[in-house]
């Protein structure tokens, strides 16, 4: 059985774990020793290490044939130092000045990026060949990680595949608190096109990419929905019997919303997702947002029963 290393052991990694264990012996890189019991009981082999502390990554070299990299970049700057530290650790020699001590590099790595690397596309329908032009520092850090990994792939021969994920949602990742707080959305004429993927589908795409992803290939990991941001909030509000958010013009929103909230309202695009269906051969469990919202509502009703 081949070995797989998960880097970035959050919600999506946890959802992907049962699928991955059917094919790989899974190692999980954890920063917190308190997480070890949970991951070990689930079937993974925990390793303690921190991408912000390269000296803790010595055990990664030559460990696994496959890497699932879900770790986000740091919160500041325009470069992703964590991805650089990971790549360095994967190829770090175990002895001094000896070519024979160089570890075998992994055969494949899947990286979870963001559709934020596209920046604002004015609501246009785009595929993975669209030019990257990230507006936010967050998007620029992700674009930096993508480029660093693609350059490494060309040099090393490692098969690097990149999943560009839009807004991730699930039953426990819905904007219920925002709706309860009455946070406003934009009026329709000022609103932006948004894209979504259910966390379970993103987990499934991780497994599919490790198996079928092409070398130096990017994939829009998005569902089939075509919604404006306010429409998404309205759907969630209607399903959970909450008030729809009040609507403001962009000018009015600029006076009452935080810069972070406004940043998500400044980029508009629609995504084509043919590649995940034709190349990764993935069938979406939740093809549209209303499918995922309906499942979340049923989950809540069962929990309350």
Q: What is the CA angle 82-83-88, rounded to 5? A: 100
Share of the chain above pLDDT 90, in %: 88
Say what the pLDDT of residue 305 is: 65
What does pTM read for this prediction?
Answer: 0.94
Phi/psi of residue 141, nearest 5 degrees: -65, -40
Residue 94 has pLDDT above 80, yes or no: no
Say what the pLDDT of residue 264 is: 83
Q: Give the model's confidence band at 84: pLDDT under 50 very low, under 70 low, under 90 confident, else very high.
A: very high
Say what the pLDDT of residue 219 is: 98
pLDDT tens-place string over residues 14-35: 999 999 999 999 999 999 999 9
CB 123 within 8 A of CB 269: yes
Q: Give the model's confidence band at 100: pLDDT under 50 very low, under 70 low, under 90 confident, else very high.
A: low
Which are the contacts of 161, defined by CB distance < 8 A and separation ≥ 6? 108, 109, 110, 111, 209, 210, 213, 214, 215, 216, 217, 218, 219
Residue 287 has pLDDT above 60, yes or no: yes
Average pLDDT of every residue of the chain: 94
Structural domains of the chain in order of their starting residue, each with its CATH number? 2-173+196-225+271-289 (3.40.50.720)
What average pLDDT does the segment 215-235 reach? 97
Residue 106 has pLDDT above 70, yes or no: yes
Question: How many residues make up the chain in this entry?
Answer: 305
What average pLDDT does the segment 51-67 reach? 97
Q: Give the model's confidence band at 92: pLDDT under 50 very low, under 70 low, under 90 confident, else very high.
A: confident
What average pLDDT does the segment 81-100 reach? 77
Token pair for 261: 């909230």
Q: Give the model's confidence band at 95: pLDDT under 50 very low, under 70 low, under 90 confident, else very high.
A: very low
Q: Give the model's confidence band at 102: pLDDT under 50 very low, under 70 low, under 90 confident, else very high.
A: low
Say what the pLDDT of residue 260 is: 81
CB 113 within 8 A of CB 197: no
What average pLDDT does the segment 81-103 reach? 75
Residue 97 has pLDDT above 60, yes or no: no
pLDDT tens-place string over residues 148-167: 999 999 999 999 999 999 99
What average pLDDT does the segment 203-219 reach? 97
Say what the pLDDT of residue 149 is: 98
What average pLDDT does the segment 119-134 reach? 96
Q: Give the model's confidence band at 231: pLDDT under 50 very low, under 70 low, under 90 confident, else very high.
A: very high
Token pair for 70: 């879900």
Cα radius of gyration (the chain): 20
Say what the pLDDT of residue 301 is: 77
What average pLDDT does the segment 127-141 reach? 95
Say what the pLDDT of residue 93 is: 54
Residue 176 has pLDDT above 80, yes or no: yes
């Amino acid at each position: 059985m081949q070995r797989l290393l998960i880097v970035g052991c959050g919600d999506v990694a946890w959802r992907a774990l049962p699928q991955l264990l059917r094919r790989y012996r899974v190692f999980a890189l954890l920063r917190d020793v308190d997480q070890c019991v949970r991951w070990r009981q689930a079937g993974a082999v925990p390793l303690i290490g921190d991408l912000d502390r390269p000296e803790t990554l010595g055990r990664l070299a030559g460990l696994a044939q496959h890497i699932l990299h879900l770790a986000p970049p740091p919160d500041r700057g325009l470069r992703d130092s964590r991805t650089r530290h990971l790549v360095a650790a994967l190829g770090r020699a175990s002895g001094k000045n000896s070519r024979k001590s160089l570890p075998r590099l992994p055969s494949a790595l899947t990286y979870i990026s963001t559709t934020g690397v596209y920046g604002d596309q004015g609501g246009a329908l785009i595929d993975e060949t669209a030019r990257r032009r990230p507006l936010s520092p967050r998007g620029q850090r992700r674009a930096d990680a993508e480029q660093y990994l693609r350059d490494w792939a060309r040099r090393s021969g490692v098969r690097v595949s990149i999943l560009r994920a839009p807004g991730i949602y699930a039953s426990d990742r819905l904007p219920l608190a925002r709706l309860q707080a009455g946070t406003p959305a934009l009026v329709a004429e000022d609103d932006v096109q948004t894209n979504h993927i259910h966390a379970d589908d993103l987990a499934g795409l991780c497994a599919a990419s490790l198996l079928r992803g092409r070398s130096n290939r990017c994939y829009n990991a998005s569902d089939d929905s075509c919604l404006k941001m306010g429409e998404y909030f309205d759907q969630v509000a209607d399903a959970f019997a909450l008030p729809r958010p009040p609507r403001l013009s962009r000018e009015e929103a600029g006076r009452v919303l935080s810069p972070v909230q406004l940043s998500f309202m400044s980029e508009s695009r629609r995504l084509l997702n043919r590649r995940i269906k034709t190349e990764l051969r993935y069938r979406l469990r939740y093809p549209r947002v209303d499918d995922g919202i309906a499942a979340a509502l049923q989950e809540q009703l069962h929990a309350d029963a």
